[in-house]
Amino acid sequence: MLDYFNADFATAKGRVINSSFISIASTVIKNHKIIRERYVSSSRSVPPTNLVYKLLSGLVLNKEMLSGNFDYIIRDRARRLATSLDVTSPSSYGTVFTDTFLNGGNEAIMFTYEKYDKEKWEDMSPITFAYHTSTNVNYQLGTSNDDTAFAFVVINVPMLAYQYLQWANWRSLNGVEENIYNFIKKYPLFNSLKSYMDISLFNRHYYRVVGNTIPEDDRVNEYPIPDIENRLNKTTVDTVNSLFGKSTTIGSALYATRLFFKDSALDLIEPIPTIYTQQVSWFLLACKMPFLHYGLSVGYSSGVSLDSKVLSTMQRELRAFINSRTLSHVPKHMKVHIIDNYLENLLILADEF
């Protein structure tokens, strides 16, 4: 499916830089650092029922493991845990969770085991959002009414385990009174906020294109956050209007859609490093469909001509996915969400070109 984005062609064509957005992004990045300092110095924690806690507990970690073949050991243990915890992995279709990352909602969670840079442990992001359906940019993971939200979350298990052991060593050396519940909330969960906010910003463009409502952000009373909503609304309107004003390819639409922390929405369609199996195929396809739907919708509205062979291939692949046994393993409400919001819309669009 990534072939439809044609990233090399999109970046070669270039894009118009919105100076107002550059200023907004600078404000967001600056305040993210300030909020992080306040967040880390607080007493926040997750409950013992949290899936990340169950994962770390099940790995049975100790610092002596770091002197051996650490990543291999973690990978071996995590593969067994994937089945018992019922998450998505190359050996498990997984189920849908609630209240692990969002306030309610539906969360598909996938384990990966790719290599990672051993940077500062406090900066590591072992938990990232591959996609979610919210639009809030108020530095919160989720909103107060997340019951109907859907999210696709990726956990790099060896990175998470390494980050935890480095934190445990730091805590011991500095006499810090924190526990594993504090660690999860303050570091891996908070650090996932960058990927969350980038996707929220993408959704503000996406929903304007397809006609979905963009609700106002919840008010945050815990700490001051910059008032960027009105300015951001204007820049997203300007970006969408500029895309409609010229023949825009799928990849070009994503490349022109700037983000706060990553460069553009084109970065959001990078493949998730994993062994491709039938068990993970539904997750890998579903979390990329919103980006394809966005690009295809922009292309249709802007009058771009797409290769009929490409469209025909896309239709065949989408219909095959709908009718595949893979989706039969997905919880019913997630399956309905994928078909109703992406697969059917994509098929309709491909027919109209």
* Domain shared by 297 and 153, yes or no: no
What does pTM read for this prediction? 0.95
* Domain shared by 143 and 204, yes or no: no
Q: State the Cα angle at 143 between 139 and 147, rounded to 5°.
A: 150
Q: Report the C-alpha gap between 153 and 130 in whole angstroms.
A: 6
pLDDT tens digits for 228-282? 988 999 999 999 999 998 889 999 999 999 999 999 999 999 999 898 898 999 9
What token pair was written down for 248? 């825009």
* Domain shared by 186 and 53, yes or no: yes
pLDDT value, residue 1: 59
pLDDT tens digits for 8-52? 778 887 787 888 999 999 999 999 999 999 989 988 999 999 999
Q: Could you tell me the residue range of the domain that residue 157 belongs to?
A: 40-197
* Domain shared by 117 and 162, yes or no: yes
* Domain shared by 79 and 186, yes or no: yes
Q: Report the C-alpha gap between 120 and 170 in whole angstroms.
A: 11
More confident site: 337 or 3: 337
* Domain shared by 98 and 153, yes or no: yes
Number of domains in the chain: 2
Q: Is 132 helix (H, G, I), strand (E, B) or coil?
A: strand
Q: Report the C-alpha gap between 327 and 111 in whole angstroms.
A: 19
* Domain shared by 205 and 137, yes or no: no
More confident site: 246 or 129: 129
pLDDT value, residue 7: 80
Neighbouring CB atoms inside 10 A of 256's CB total 25
* Domain shared by 151 and 265, yes or no: no
* Domain shared by 175 and 281, yes or no: no
